Amino acid sequence: MTGEELNQDALFEQGMARLSELLGPAWRIDRRTDGKEAHRSGGDIIVTMHAKGESSYAHLLVDVKLAGVSPRIVEETLLAKLDLLRQLNQYTTLLLLTPWLSRPTQRLLRKHDISYMDLMGNVSLRIPRPAIVIHTEGAMRAPQALATEPRKATLAGPKAGRLVRLLTDVRPPYRAGELAQASRLSLGYVSRLLDTLEDQLLIRRDGRVITSVDWPNLLRTRAEREALLRKGSYVGLLAPNGIPSVISRIRHLPPSGLSNIAVTGTHAAHTVAPLSAGGQLMAYVSPLLDEDDLVDELGLIPVDENANVLLLRARDRSVFERTETVKGIPHVALSQVALDCLAGPGRMPAEGEAVIEYMKDHQDLWQISRIHDLLTTPQP
């Protein structure tokens, strides 16, 4: 027996032990050992789940995968297996078992009614007969031992955020070189990140041309990798005269100040998706502005808690790209509003989803139709 088979067996045993815990003592799980497994491919293992003392049972085809499972693997491999399985035996449930599954992969598996289980607590099992429904959520990120290989680009970090914004704000088609030029990123980095996005089914390509972008899920996936209020990324302030007074003072900043500040978060979301009233006023501030002078100019007081104004320190100048002026106040672009809300605390993710719904219904109002329009426009 090879090392890989030993590892597959170890993964299978751990998975079945976890499944047994979830089902409880009223169920027994048996692996088929009658020799018919000799013709299975890869990590496919057939098990039977018996209800003790009853005639009820269910069959599982357990697909054991040691390597990471991306949405592209689901689409190109598991959907074909599921289709064949349903043609042969509609009462056998396909269960994917792997060390860890990302949230986008989990969503795609549930969409196609494929059950899954990983060792990090993410489980979705749906069996129609006998009726069994189990759903648990575990780790959102892979453990260090399963982290992405160093040379594979991820959606974390300011450079990735810049490309995500561009892919969202500009309608395809376009090529990697055009994206690199418009984003002022290296072609090598852009190409590696595009490979990752294609693997996650967040973009589609025809040869070297990107033909479509799943920008709603691209924004969601990026937000899962970033926290809006990281330690040291903002300063909390109190507006003694209320937030309307601060907004009025922002409106009367000199042009040099207005070009280096932009409202985001709840107050920006309210302009297109007013879910609720109130909330903290959040605004990005460029390093070009003196933070202490701005605090004084806006009439704010630094506080350690109960802040109602947050000045966010921009990690990348791209947060100020494609801003819009709303009633004399600079707001970040809708794509940035959605990202920040999705990555924010409390009710902000729901506000981010509402912004995305607005963006879907009004795509012609905010999305740039051609990347050529950006390439011929001087960048700030």
Measured CA to CA, the distance from residue 202 to residue 146 in angstroms comes to 22
What pLDDT is stored for residue 172 in this prediction? 97
Report the distance separating Cα 331 and Cα 69, nearest Å: 38
pLDDT digits (tens, 9 = 90+) for 300-352: 999 989 999 999 998 899 999 999 999 999 999 999 999 999 999 999 999 99
Gap between the Cα atoms of 40 and 55, Å rounded = 27
Q: Which long-range contacts (C-beta less than 8 Å, at least 24 apart) are formed by 284-287? A: 284/311, 284/312, 284/313, 284/314, 284/319, 284/320, 284/332, 285/260, 285/261, 285/311, 285/312, 285/313, 285/314, 286/260, 286/261, 286/314, 286/317, 286/320, 287/313, 287/314
- According to the model, what pLDDT value does residue 19 have? 93
In this model, does residue 252 exceed pLDDT 80? Answer: yes
Task: Tell me what pLDDT residue 151 has.
Answer: 57
pTM over 0.95: no
The mean per-residue pLDDT over the stretch 106-110 comes to: 94
Return the structure tokens found at 1.
């027996």
**Both tokens assigned to 2:** 């090879």
pLDDT band for 38, please (50, 70, 90 cuts): very low
Q: What is the DSSP string of 127-149?
A: ETTTTEEEEE---SS--GGGPPP
Q: Are strands 123-127 and 115-118 parallel, antiparallel or unpaired?
A: antiparallel
Q: Give the model confidence (pLDDT) of 191-242 as tens digits.
A: 999 999 999 999 999 999 999 999 999 999 999 988 999 888 999 999 999 9
Set out the domains of the chain in order of their start, with CATH numbers.
Answer: 3-145 (3.40.1350), 158-226 (1.10.10.10), 234-364 (no CATH)
Which strand (E) or helix (H) includes residue 126? strand 123-127
Confidence category of residue 57, pLDDT binned at 50, 70, 90 = confident
Q: Which residue has the tokens 């048996």?
A: 30
